[in-house]
Structure 1
């Protein structure tokens, strides 16, 4: 049953509603008419976009099918994500809402102006010109204390499930955080409204903490405008990549999303300058996209094949790398053979992730794994990269109500720097330490 709700409540756009908005004969006919009235693109481009409408619907259907429940899902597809953002916004439509037992509100789509709706939808289906990248002023790393804590949240920008719990845990932590870092992804496509309501308004701001946010594919799906024009100014951040340094450590946040899952030449040169200025300090990287994965097929091929960046990786100069994108928590137990990097995925802070690929894995043994259900991903070779054995966080998600058993837990990471030492923690969504290990 539909009901009136406060417009800032988190909205979920399901496949059924996208199909109503885009998959009916009336919708397709109106969209085709809108496309024919657009004289800004060539007929061949217009035809290609119309031909791809079915694929957009299929991508959204498959994402929801993979989840196996009515929860927030979205594919790695820019047009699909933009259409979900459009439906969630209520623009050019009549929306009512139905509370979902799992959390959030399902947007129930309707319109009495199909051509008006289709005209707006057509603009979302067209190619967007991305916002110009905002780069740091120089390669000088900002200072951070020799003793410092950093909170690391990945794929947190849902406003749902474990994300609000994580915000509360970070805000109420009795010890200070020097930096609170988001590894990227505000859903569905990082529009201005989504950045405001699912991210900035609910971000765990703390007095005395610096806030930083990395660029991601979902922010770039809407062209990156809200990320560059809203998030960066709100955080006092002068570029989409940055560096911090103390007497023993150099921390570098990278933008490997402006060019999807890749890195540009100018940024690589900046990074090489930062590394050179680091001397013998240990270097830790942060990014949205992964360098590699022992579970997903998507790998960082374009990253390690970049001549300058790949050479840096193969020099084994990088100590550790924290990334998101994959909505799991995965800890590689030792450095990989190719790059000598301790890889960590902290992408489990807000998006539902099916347990299907991990629930059958062998349980990890040992005292470090006793506080949660950790499973083993055996050492493997992926596209020539020899990956170490990894452990992945398993178990149900108590914050996806009624579907707890289908989804992995949400949580976040905490890095504790103390002189030459680094201890990492994985925490549950409520702040409980479920894994800790000294890395140096």
Structure 2
């Protein structure tokens, strides 16, 4: 594919190419010169940014090494993600593209203007001022019918692998949906071009369905401009958190990414009031980041430690919570003892997830787990919170071509609400029901 040709598929930025972009002696030298020309940053901050370049490279290398393949990978780091977005965009550098057998196009980096490139890179390494948070204008929940159907997609914004299959499955589903919900993450850093190509252009819009998207760390890595300025207007969404309810249920989407894996006081006051007005309705929360995990080390400590949210959680007023961020499908088999929450991670809709931490787990047994390769995760206690046993979706990912055995499957969830009843389904990327449970 030629240098001037606009890529027809999402671009994958591998460590080898980003190392060329910022890791060579020539790149570092020109980056230091760009730093020297910048009068808006003090010398101490400049030194810290330059010293951090090596750390950015190590994180990118570690992410790719963990994956063990040339696929879309990115660490949880704003500067690293912004640099991947920069290389993928072709801004200020000449790119060629090579087709990757696993999907997408690898950006082949080259430039004859190292000084110009370094100036752009330097701007991406500097601290960004985030877009102001856009909040809902009311704490009155919008209406949903008493019988309704909701599709839940998490970490879907890759445009690759199982993500387009999921989009097609939701779009072609014979039954209507009332709400289509994305739990967040458009990669690499949620820039305008990425939000357009990897998210909005392929989002499975359905006639009569409400579209909603939660904020996430990757959207905030570029300051949140595209999330607040493009996604919310495209979805007719008033703010980054919201509430819907019918006569039996109140569904609440939270923004726990504007403050990374945390929540702000004003939002907690809004949440408390929505819950108060819900009366005796059952409450279901949705967010990007997890409250807890029995697989990954990252926990929602800042969520349950917030005085207001912590008090609400300990009151056991929340019935269920669906989140993403962790690129797996994990279903906890019972409510946890501290908060009484039915917890689910639905983060497996688009990002490649290595099988390293799950392939050795024992196979889940029982009629509920016969339609896919589910594995038992033992009950654990994390930071004083006892977590119940869970099952995690295992097996190969048929949509990461040539690397199928390295990555877990992609999929999504469907929630069916019928009066007082809530039935959840986990579906494969092609729409096959591989797990279902009536929670009440």
Same-fold status (TM-score > 0.5): yes
Is 1:2–1:98's contact at 8 Å kept on the other side of the alignment?
A: no
Q: Could you list the runs of 4 or more consecutive aligned residues of structure 1 that deviate by over 3 angstroms after TM superposition?
A: 1-6
TM-score (norm 2): 0.99
Is 1:330–1:344's contact at 8 Å kept on the other side of the alignment?
A: yes
Find the aligned partners of 1:400 and 1:106 in 2 and give their Cα distance: 15
Helix, strand or coil at the partner of 1:35: helix
1:175-212 superposed Cα distances (whole Å, 9 cap, x missing partner): 00000000000000000000000000010011111100
Aligned residues: 440
Deviation of 1:398 after TM superposition, in Å, equals: 0.1
> Who is 1:333 aligned against?
333
> Who is 1:425 aligned against?
425
> Who is 2:313 aligned against?
313
Deviation of 1:6 after TM superposition, in Å, equals: 4.2
Helix, strand or coil at the partner of 1:95: strand
The answer on 1:217 being equivalent to 2:208 is no
Find the aligned partners of 2:409 and 2:384 in 1 and give their Cα distance: 31
Deviation of 1:7 after TM superposition, in Å, equals: 2.4
List runs of 5+ in structure 1 lacking aligned partners. Answer: none
Find the aligned partners of 1:35 and 1:178 in 2 and give their Cα distance: 51
TM-score (norm 1): 0.99
Q: How does 1:103-142 map to 2 (within 5 A)?
A: 103-142=103-142
Deviation of 1:9 after TM superposition, in Å, equals: 1.4
> Who is 2:250 aligned against?
250
Deviation of 1:8 after TM superposition, in Å, equals: 3.9
1:111-161 superposed Cα distances (whole Å, 9 cap, x missing partner): 000010000000000000000000000100000000000000000000000
> Who is 2:196 aligned against?
196
Is 1:186–1:218's contact at 8 Å kept on the other side of the alignment?
A: yes
Q: How does 1:261-340 map to 2 (within 5 A)?
A: 261-340=261-340
Is 2:3–2:94's contact at 8 Å kept on the other side of the alignment?
A: no
1:211-265 superposed Cα distances (whole Å, 9 cap, x missing partner): 0000000000000000000000000000000000000000000000000000000
> Who is 2:171 aligned against?
171
Deviation of 1:431 after TM superposition, in Å, equals: 0.1
> Who is 1:207 aligned against?
207
The answer on 1:392 being equivalent to 2:371 is no
Find the aligned partners of 1:359 and 1:2 in 2 and give their Cα distance: 40
The answer on 1:150 being equivalent to 2:150 is yes
Helix, strand or coil at the partner of 1:201: helix
1:277-316 superposed Cα distances (whole Å, 9 cap, x missing partner): 0000000000000000000000000000000000000000
Find the aligned partners of 1:280 and 1:250 in 2 and give their Cα distance: 10
Find the aligned partners of 1:166 and 1:142 in 2 and give their Cα distance: 27
Is 1:97–1:108's contact at 8 Å kept on the other side of the alignment?
A: yes
Is 2:7–2:97's contact at 8 Å kept on the other side of the alignment?
A: no
Find the aligned partners of 1:47 and 1:398 in 2 and give their Cα distance: 45
